[in-house]
Every structure is written in C-alpha cells, then in structure tokens.
C-alpha cells in the first residue's frame, strides 16, 4: 500500500493553529477545535504511514512512561505500540515496586522518572474526584521541573482515562465517526444516543459517557444521553455538553428511556457506568477504610442495578434507529449477552454484526496516542511527518 493519502492530510494539518506544543492532553474540553482536528489528522497520517511501511521513528531512544492505576488491555497496548512506533522505550511505572511505597511526593516522583521521558500516560479512573487531580498534579510537577532546570525536556502528560474524561477513547470514537460518515462536517445534525446499558459488574467509570457527550456536542451532533433515574453523570459535564451544543449548533438532551434515545439515531453507544452519587459515597468509604460499609454499598448497588436488565441494546431497539441501521459503538470490552455474561449491554447478534467495524475502530487508539505525543512534543508536527515521508525509511526491512 502506498502512502498517497498522507500529503493531503499533512496539508490540512499544516493549516491548523494548534496550541499543544509543550502542553499536556488531559481533557478534550480544555483543547481548541484545531487541537482536536490536528490529533485526528496526525493519527490518520501515522496510520497510513504504517500501512505504507514508512518508519515513524522520530526518536532514537528516550522513555514513554505508563502509569496504570487500573486494569487495561487495549489502552496499555495502544500506549506501548505508540511508543514503539515513534522510537521510544516503554517503561511501566509500577507504584508497588517503587519508593512511592516509602511516602515519596508526587512532585518528586514525577521528576525522578522524567529525565529522559517524552511522555507520561496515566490511567486513574477508580475514584471520583481523584484521577484528574492526580494527573494535573503530575503535569504541574513536570512543568515546574522543566522551568526550574531539573528536566532537560518537558514530558507531556496524557490522560489514558480519568474520573472526568477518556480523551484517547473519545477521539478514537470521533475518528471512527469521521471515517464512517466521510468527514467531521458530515456529523452535523446526526443523532448519537449515548445510553446507559445493563452490566452485571459494578463500578465502571463514568468517563466514557462524559467524554462522548462533551466531545460530540462540539461537532454539531444531536447528542442524547439516556440512563435510568439515579444514574447521573457529573452535573457540570452535562452542563458543559449543553453549552457545547449551543455553540456548535448541535443539541443535547437527557432522557430516561433507551427507546427514546435510540429512535431515529444515526449512532448508538450503549455502555454501562456507575451512578455518580454512588461513586462519591464509594470514594468516601474507601478513603475511610470502611470495608464493611463498602460491601453493603456494593450489595445495594448490585440490587439496584439488577432492576435495569431491560437496558440492553437488542435487535428490537436497533430496528427503531434511523433506517434500522444505526452505527453501534463501544469502547470494548462489551458485556455481550450469552457471550461473556447471562445478561449484558448488548445482544449477541447485534454485537456480532458490528464486531468488525468496532474492532477496526479500536486500532485508531494507538495512532491517536501517537498523534498526541507528536503534537505535544514537536513544534511543527506536519513538517516532521513530511520529512519522515520524504525519507521513506522502511519500517519493515526486505
């Protein structure tokens, strides 16, 4: 495959006034539209270059540090892949094997792991009000370290999922939508249903839902958030989605019925999460070490949760979407009824019909992360990619 599509992507990238150089990528709503468009264009260019066997190794060594405070497969491998793609060595920061266990401060640790580091990717999504705070603290620490002359370069902190946002996922989703509908402009006026769905497990982060409603409203989409009573997301982020919709000419509304959300939708995104208020109580109990009350809370939640087994993305519901063939989306892994659980977020036949596009979508994430690294670490990313393309060093020999 040739890299023929790349020059036009880089031309578009070159016209954008971005503000990511020497910055972090923590929350999509802190970034301009140009920043977001640039991430997508750079990701597309890198993906085409890989397929055309053009090496994208902009670094000859240096570290990409990952810090996973929760389990992860695809984000872990996406981050490691992005590092390898660009020529960085991936080094996992495992707090249990570190001096953090000796009471070291975040400020200090962040500097100590960063002397040769270009990027620090963090997942911290278990506790409400904590994940973003931690990432911001790390970002502040390396920014200060760089200004003070401690660090020879300023590593970018990239949010690999926090309590508020999941930007590498939501931008991967946006890229999938762009490719599916042809352009970002083609998303205008399209209805996307971000709906809560039933899962037998408990305590899933809210950040996917929050990331989608705040991002898609910026591109003129008609975003409908659906969930059972009590399964609210963070109120400020609902308000932000409303504001984004007003500015972009899209819309945002909330309903308490999956049917209502799915009706005439172009895109459906059924996904489980834990109620915001529950997450707050849970965080408080965890902080207080009140394990007994925590167990009670979990029992209570699971009982409550079980009342909403009807919130499943079924064939019946898919039929009421636009022309009966809305695009189904999920960040994976989905709870698929009769595949990995008795009753879950989506019916087996629905998932299976959309399995291949959903898997293909997942591929974008590594390029989204690589694009974030490129945009935060290079002043002229389009120029860098152009020179790589001209150099045309094969990624794979032979």
φ/ψ of 108, rounded to 5, equals -70, -50
Site stretch for a second copy (CB under 8 A), options 30-38, 104-112, 261-269, 313-321 = 104-112
Residue 344: which H helix or E strand, with range?
none
Nearer to a second copy, 280 or 363 (CB): 363
Nearer to a second copy, 237 or 368 (CB): 368
Alpha-carbon distance 395 to 50, whole Å? 7
Is residue 343 close enough to count as binding a second copy by CB under 8 A?
Answer: no
Q: What is the Cα 234 distance to its own chain's centre?
A: 17
Nearer to a second copy, 160 or 237 (CB): 160
Residues 273-292, interacting with a second copy (CB under 8 A) = none
Q: How far is the CB of 19 from a second copy (least distance, A)?
A: 18
Nearer to a second copy, 37 or 330 (CB): 330
Is residue 68 close enough to count as binding a second copy by CB under 8 A?
Answer: yes
Nearer to a second copy, 235 or 398 (CB): 398
Task: Out of 14, 87, 202, 260, point to the residue binding a second copy (CB under 8 A).
Answer: 87
Q: Which long-range contacts (CB under 8 A, 24 or more apart) does 43-46 make?
A: 43/171, 43/175, 43/364, 43/367, 43/368, 43/370, 43/371, 44/5, 44/9, 44/175, 44/367, 45/6, 45/9, 45/10, 45/13, 45/385, 46/85, 46/367, 46/370, 46/371, 46/374, 46/385
φ/ψ of 358, rounded to 5, equals -65, -40
Residues 6+ away with beta carbon under 8 Å from 340: 333
Nearer to a second copy, 188 or 348 (CB): 348
Task: Out of 2, 19, 277, 360, point to the residue binding a second copy (CB under 8 A).
Answer: 360
Alpha-carbon distance 160 to 354, whole Å? 25
Task: Out of 335, 373, 375, 389, point to the residue binding a second copy (CB under 8 A).
Answer: 335
Is residue 111 close enough to count as binding a second copy by CB under 8 A?
Answer: yes
Is residue 73 close enough to count as binding a second copy by CB under 8 A?
Answer: yes
Q: How far is the CB of 395 from a second copy (least distance, A)?
A: 5
Nearer to a second copy, 7 or 61 (CB): 61
Alpha-carbon distance 354 to 333, whole Å? 13
Is residue 109 close enough to count as binding a second copy by CB under 8 A?
Answer: yes
Residues 6-65, interacting with a second copy (CB under 8 A) = 50-51, 55-63, 65
Q: What angle is formed at CA 94 by the lines to CA 171 and CA 280, rounded to 5 degrees?
A: 60
């Amino acid at each position: 495959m040739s890299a023929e599509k790349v020059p036009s992507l880089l031309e578009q990238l070159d016209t954008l006034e971005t503000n990511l150089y020497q910055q972090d990528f923590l929350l999509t709503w802190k970034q301009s539209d140009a920043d977001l468009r640039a991430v997508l264009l750079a990701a597309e260019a890198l993906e085409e270059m890989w397929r055309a066997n053009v090496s994208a190794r902009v670094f000859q060594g240096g570290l990409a540090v990952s810090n996973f405070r929760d389990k992860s497969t695809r984000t872990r491998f996406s981050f490691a892949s992005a590092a390898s793609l660009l020529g960085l060595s991936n080094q996992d920061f495992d707090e249990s094997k570190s001096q953090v266990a000796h009471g070291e401060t975040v400020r200090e640790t962040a500097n100590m792991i960063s002397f040769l580091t270009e990027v620090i990717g963090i997942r911290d999504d278990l506790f409400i009000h904590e994940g973003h705070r931690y990432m911001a603290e790390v970002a502040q620490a390396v920014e200060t370290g760089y200004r003070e002359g401690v660090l020879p370069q300023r590593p970018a902190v990239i949010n690999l999922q926090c309590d508020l946002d999941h930007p590498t996922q939501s931008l991967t989703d946006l890229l999938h939508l762009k490719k599916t509908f042809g352009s970002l402009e083609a998303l205008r006026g399209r209805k996307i249903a971000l709906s809560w769905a039933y899962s037998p497990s408990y305590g899933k982060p809210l950040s996917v839902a929050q990331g989608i409603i705040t991002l898609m409203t910026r591109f003129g989409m008609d975003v409908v958030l659906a969930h059972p009573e009590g399964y609210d997301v963070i109120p400020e982020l609902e308000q932000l989605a409303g504001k984004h919709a007003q500015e972009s000419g899209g819309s945002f509304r909330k309903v308490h019925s999956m049917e209502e959300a799915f009706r005439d939708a172009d895109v459906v995104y059924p996904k489980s999460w834990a109620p915001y208020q529950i997450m707050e109580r849970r965080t408080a109990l965890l902080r207080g070490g009140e394990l007994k009350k925590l167990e009670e809370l979990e029992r209570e939640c699971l009982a409550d949760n079980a009342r909403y087994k009807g919130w499943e993305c079924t064939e019946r519901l898919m039929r009421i979407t636009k022309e009966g063939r809305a695009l189904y989306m999920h960040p994976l892994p989905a709870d698929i009824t009769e595949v990995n659980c008795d009753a879950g977020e989506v019916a087996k036949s629905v998932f299976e019909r959309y399995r291949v596009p959903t898997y293909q979508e997942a591929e974008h994430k590594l390029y989204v992360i690589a694009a974030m690294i490129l945009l935060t670490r290079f002043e002229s990313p389009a120029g860098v990619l152009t020179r790589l393309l001209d150099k045309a060093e094969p990624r794979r020999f032979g």
